Structure 1
Amino acid sequence: MNLDRLRKLLRDLTELYFTEDSRTCGNAKMDFIFRSSHAYLQLIENFSTEEKSILERLSSTPQHNAHYYFNDDVMGLFAPVIYRNYSTNNFFDLEMPALYTILHEFHHSIFRNVYDISDLVQEHLPCIANHYSELCKEFGQGECHGGNKTLSEDAPDVEGLRTAYDMFSSRYSEQEKKKYLKKINVTRDQAFFYSLGMNSCGQKDYTTHSEEDKHSPMLIRLNGMVSLMPEFSRSFQCRKGDRMYTDEETTCYVFGNN
């Protein structure tokens, strides 16, 4: 789906909106919502599942700015189309969720099938599977599928966040990372992790999911990632014995500690 296609979709949506039945419910705002929704449903009526997914991501937040297509072994990046240039100096301050999403999808190209990758990597995977299974027992409510069922998403989660943090660390010195940000009582380093959680705030149930979903529930995903990062423990001064504490000797790695 290129830029010309997106422009045509916008024109088609506008045309459908203005050719809608002109009946009114008596409230201009509600009329706009109903007509827009009906026009959108007409627009996507003959869309493929892939096209619907792309359109949904393009109209969403930077959290959904990339997607990996397993069948074609291709990753699509949507950010250049609608989001501001990521080469700005404030990139790491403002767009960490966007960077993490790109890196998560990138790691799917490595973890297309977690059981087909090298023996060197496979020996580390049970540690991650067990970690998420235990989190399901602790935080999950209702249906919570962890372990091997979600490993193909959990592994990219962990390594995507680690890579994002490595890039973040290459941007700022240790002194800069420990500096408290203006108006909020957190360090730049802590803000890195807060941004990941804040991007997932919402009203829906984050502790359970459907059998078909290969992702861990969002609450499990967030706690699973950061509780495997010694950098998180150091940033928030977790002590040995604290629930979220981990270090280089006890955490799980996909590629090893390097």
Structure 2
Amino acid sequence: MSELIILGCIVGLLSGFFGVGGGTILVPLLLLLGYETKVAIGISVTQMLFSSVYGSYLNNKKGTLDVAIVIVVGIGGFIGGLLSGFITSSVNDEILEVIFLSFAIFALLRLFITTKEHHEQKEVSKILLFIIGFVIGAISMSIGVGGSIILVPILVGFLHVPLKKAVSAGLLFVVFSSLAGLISHTMSEDIDYMSGIIIGSVSLIGVYFGIVLKDIVDEVLQKRLLGSFYFLVVIYLINRIFLEV
């Protein structure tokens, strides 16, 4: 119990400080503690529902949440997320870890790529938005991450959505996808509810203090610390997947 409370505080603090989904942080930490990959993914999906709902509430209070942007892509993410439990159950742990490693490498590279912002937002086909949401929801929920780090650059770089709106939309998208992921993983019996609820509840406290800390620390230092964290995750996963006997 005590280790879950400590883990929840750490995950929430890092999520709030770095502005990333808890899954990117939580899954490798759970693997490090000896949890099986599929159990770690199930716990992460549960925790994400807590943090994404809370974060979307805060964004709505600040007036940065535009529901209209994300409703179609969110529905696609929800339906895609419903497949995640089946995907996770059908794929062995090694392949899931390789997919997560690919995601972590992408997240690391994203830190060094500046997405160009545009002044005018594009009118985009709702069918295209649905397909984007469906694919991201299915893949991200299968490895226990929110998917916003993939969705936000698409919204900003290709659909010309303003960055602040895109970030808020990305977090609301996680509400849709994580709810579907929770349903799907429940049907596949991959969820350790008690651990997920404890970590998710405690992480909300960490998120608050992480956001406070984020406003104090220099943005350049914050980016370097986030890059260092992702680098450590990548090294750990490479060692776990390819070097451990």
Q: Structure 2-normalised TM-score?
A: 0.27
Higher RCO (C-alpha 8 Å, min separation 6): 2
User: If each structure's helix is expressed as a fraction of its own residues, which one has the higher value?
Assistant: 2
